[in-house]
Structure 1
Amino acid sequence: MDLINFRVGQKTISLKILDILLTERFEDNLTSLPNDNKSFIGVKGYMETPTPIFDLGIILNKQSTQETNQSLVELFSEWQQKQQQWFTALENSIKHNQPFNHNTDVQQSNFAKWYSHFKTENEDLKAIIERFKTPHNRLYARANKLIELVKQNNEKQALVELSIERNSNYMQLIRLFESAKEQILLDHKPIIIFTTKDGRTPHIGLLVDKVEDNISYKKEDIKPLDKLTDVGFDIDPQTKNMMRGLIKLENKHSVLIDPSAIFRPQHLMHQQAEETEEYGLF
């Protein structure tokens, strides 16, 4: 069986090649229609057929990737603001010879703890995150030296070295914050997968983050749905309805989905999903 893997947030999903008509770049030019289904984001004309488009991020993750990314950008902005407040407090402390009541132990820094455990599939973002450590550690170490200079009544030297820190480690941190936010927004270039049930006409479109790779699998390589709980996969009934199996990749799993089960005519809505055998697996 020939499959294509797609990325949806932190998840990987697989579709049979025979279920796919075409993929195209999402241009946010869909026609909206009244609908109570949160994952339904509009209609796109394809081969003279109005085709409903569904956001797989909402189906699988309860939130679109765009919303997830925006939340992450806001989180980076919050960390950036806290770092700016920390440096401003340090600057005021040195200029006015006042106690510095903020943390200067990088091991106790909440931000350091956060980025040390941050996980992402975005390799460029991961590289940016790794670059935070050096200037962040240096800035905290230098802060202790500056505070000590003030205690020794050497405010002038402390101000000189503070200026150096502002233009070096501190500014490097600020640039990294901006780079991280830019990477998150610019890296997201979603695509629409136009699926088919008969190999000729479109059935539905699925919004995903990107194409990953092509793979070939034998039916014995695909775990049926009753094996999903064995790997701790948390799925709700609606999502389970379209899932046809779990595929073990190199260091993760991919979910094989049947796009025909995502959208059905109204008179079939309350029927059970097609049996796995009917999807051509077992």
Structure 2
Amino acid sequence: MDLINFRVGKKTISLKILDILLTERYEGNLTSLPNENPSFLGVKDYMGTPTPIFDLGLILNNQSSYETNQSLVELLQLREQDHKAWLAELELSVHNDVPFTKSRDPKQTDFGKWFYNFKTDNEDLKAILSRFEGPHDRLHSIADEVLNLCSKGKKDQALETLEKEKLTTFTKLIRLFESARDQIILDHKPIIVFTTEDGQQPHIGLLVDRVEDNIHCDESDIKPLHEMTNVGFDIDPQTKKMMKGLIKQGDNHSLVLDPSAIFRPEHLKGYEPVETEEYGLF
């Protein structure tokens, strides 16, 4: 059995090659239709056939990959603001001889607690995050340095040190926050996988994050559904219908999906694609 692996959030899913018609970049150009299924995004015309598109992120992770990425971008924005507030308070402390109350231990800050526990398989984001530790540690170390100078009556030297670090270490850290956010946004280029039941007509489209690779396996390599709860999957009824099982790949598992288990919305039976100037037939 030949399969193609796709990434959806932190999960890998596998579809039979024979179940796939094609993949294309998702541009958001779908026709919305009333539907109670939150994972149903809308309809895309495929060679004259209105094809329902479902968000696998919502089905498998209870959150779309777009929402997951936006949450991460917002978190990084908050942590950047934390550091701006941290430096502002240190400047106030040095200038006005008032106590400095913020954390001097980089691992005990909100960013530090997140940073040392965060995991990602995005290699470009990993590369950016790997550059945070140096300037982040250095920034927090200057609190003791400048406050010790102040305690010795060397306020001018403390201010000089603070200004130097603000122009170098702090600026570098802020640029890293910006680069990390940009990478998260730019890296998300989801695709639609058009599936088929007969090899000719589209059945549904599935929104995934990216194509991973292709593999060959035997039916005996697929673990049955009842074993999935032993590897950390909380399976809801909708997801259970489309799962055929699990394939072990090294230390990870791939979910083998049967897209035919997702039924086309009933109201699509009477739906006729509408030609629009911007998108053509939808």
TM-score by length of 1: 0.92
Give me the CA root mean square deviation.
1.3
Name the counterpart of 1:196. 196
In structure 2, stretches of 5+ residues that fail to align are 267-282
Name the counterpart of 1:70. 70
**Distance (Å, rounded) in 2 between the aligned partners of 1:24 and 1:12:** 18
**Distance (Å, rounded) in 2 between the aligned partners of 1:255 and 1:249:** 11
Name the counterpart of 1:205. 205
Conserved? CA contact 2:52–2:265, under 8 Å: no
The residue correspondences of 1:77-156 to structure 2 (distance < 5 A) are 77-156=77-156
Name the counterpart of 2:236. 236
2:52 alignment partner, SS class = strand
Does the C-alpha gap of structure 1 residues 91 and 262 become closer, same or farther in structure 2, counting only changes over 3 Å?
same
Does the C-alpha gap of structure 1 residues 224 and 100 become closer, same or farther in structure 2, counting only changes over 3 Å?
same
> What displacement does 1:264 show?
4.4
> What displacement does 1:126 show?
1.5
Conserved? CA contact 1:13–1:257, under 8 Å: yes
Does the C-alpha gap of structure 1 residues 201 and 139 become closer, same or farther in structure 2, counting only changes over 3 Å?
same
Letter in 1 for 2:100: F
Letter in 2 for 1:177: F
Runs of at least 4 residues off by over 3 Å: none
**Distance (Å, rounded) in 2 between the aligned partners of 1:220 and 1:131:** 44
**Distance (Å, rounded) in 1 between the aligned partners of 2:102 and 2:27:** 46
The residue correspondences of 1:1-282 to structure 2 (distance < 5 A) are 1-264=1-264, 266=266
In structure 1, stretches of 5+ residues that fail to align are 267-282
Letter in 2 for 1:247: I
Name the counterpart of 2:278. none
Letter in 1 for 2:254: S
Conserved? CA contact 1:112–1:133, under 8 Å: no
**Distance (Å, rounded) in 1 between the aligned partners of 2:178 and 2:251:** 31
TM-score by length of 2: 0.92
Greater alpha carbon shift after TM alignment, 215-224 vs 188-197:
215-224
**Distance (Å, rounded) in 2 between the aligned partners of 1:238 and 1:121:** 27
